[in-house]
Chains A and B, each alone.
Chain A
């Protein structure tokens, strides 16, 4: 960080990178769908929100998460409020894990992340099918959960490295 210390704008951008990345990801959807892989999709905002809410909650404001959810609903075409609800729920789960954890462990976080996305996606699936009468493919959702879970470990390591570079050494 010392090399950036004379450039306050750059520092501000780097420190707010999780929020910027969250908004870019909801507006842009890092889904790699142009690769046209038949059974592949993952939810990048879920990974991002869970990791940063768990490791550095002050870097992602709840208000921003709520707003990002509204944008996601608009871009994807979901009922307005459903993504905000799911993102905030993920934040809540991450916050709960942070409160009960004495010695952080990436594998435990990873397992808890699986539990979180299972609960959140089930809630979203039930709301969309029962309340809004959407037709959704159950298997697509399962594939999405599976890849989101798999990708968490990769992104968590990238974010950890970034966190150490920008915010300084972490405890875990």
Chain B
């Protein structure tokens, strides 16, 4: 018993404390160093922030270059996939186009009327200049759903700005570097934004799930919505402009719960718009 404990201690000591063959650093030394960095980072120690910013700039650019071959294969895979589904997609699009053409006429009138009424009640919101950014990295980890864009503080990007894919909300800026920024996607488990469920105008909070859909987390009287309800940003808290389309409510076949399918496909983002909304002062 005594000797087996000794053997265990010797093996552990040899594995962690002894500097191995052709190793410049001791393993335990580096482990302690990692823990120190982690703890200092937790308390926002300035040198750790500088280290992170420097690594960000190097890593994001390197990742973009290193990802080129894989992105090429990804593109081929998606091309083949879209060719295989070509006829079905065409039929669906034809059907939807007919419906949308009719709807578009009504929408145009409503938009003009809406602008006029909002100006009367002094709630008309305008956007800042649009910043078009290229998605550098969309390597979403299984746990965190973020993307990196090629615009940073140099291009007047600020933390909290919203990010759109076309007209659809994608997420918000959570980290700004000099040349790059990180966008927290709506699908991330840590993303929580105020939304309105239409029709009905129910106010609630949309939460990411870490998957490619969201869920309604909080709402008045525990209202969970109905299938085909549309989710818009509510504008509560002043960060998002109200009425930005986000997604559609659908029934999850497995869990039998309502889930939000985002209008934008976050795995296909190539270019995004970064905007800051503010009130019209004129």
Contacts and interface: CB of A to CB of B under 8 A. Distances in A.
Interface majority SS on B: helix, strand, loop or mixed?
helix
Interface residues of B, number: 58
A41 B51 contact: no
B141 interface: yes
A134 B41 contact: no
B186 to A, nearest CB: 14
B66 A28 contact: yes
Given A76-B139, A77-B144, A61 B23 contact: yes
Contact of B30 (A27, A63, A74): A63
B31 interface: yes
Contacts of A98: 15
A92 B34 CA distance: 14
Contacts of A62: 20, 23-27, 30
Interface residues of A, number: 55
Contacts of B37: 80-81, 84
B210 interface: yes
Interface string A27-64: 11111011110100100000000000000011001110
Given A57-B20, A75-B59, A99 B14 contact: yes
Nearest to A139: B210
A127 interface: yes
A35 to B, nearest CB: 8
Contacts of A93: 15
Interface string B6-36: 0100111011100011111111101101111
A144 B63 contact: no
A132 B39 CA distance: 10
Contact of A96 (B15, B28, B34): B15
Interface in A74-124: 74-82, 84-85, 88-89, 91-93, 95-96, 98-100
B48 interface: yes
Contacts of B33: 66
A82 B67 contact: no
Nearest to B192: A135
B23 A57 contact: yes
A70 B37 CA distance: 10
Contacts of B20: 57-58, 62, 95
Contacts of B34: 66, 69, 81-82, 84-85, 88
A154 B222 CA distance: 48
B27 A63 contact: no
B38 A66 contact: no
A21 B276 CA distance: 40
Contacts of A79: 38, 41-42
Given A31-B142, A34-B78, A62-B23, 18 more contacts: A31-B141, A58-B20, A58-B21, A58-B23, A61-B22, A63-B25, A70-B55, A74-B59, A75-B63, A77-B141, A80-B51, A81-B34, A95-B15, A96-B11, A100-B11, A134-B143, A134-B144, A144-B142
Interface of A: 23-24, 27-31, 33-36, 38, 41, 57-58, 61-63, 65-66, 69-71, 74-82, 84-85, 88-89, 91-93, 95-96, 98-100, 127, 131-132, 134-137, 140-141, 143-144
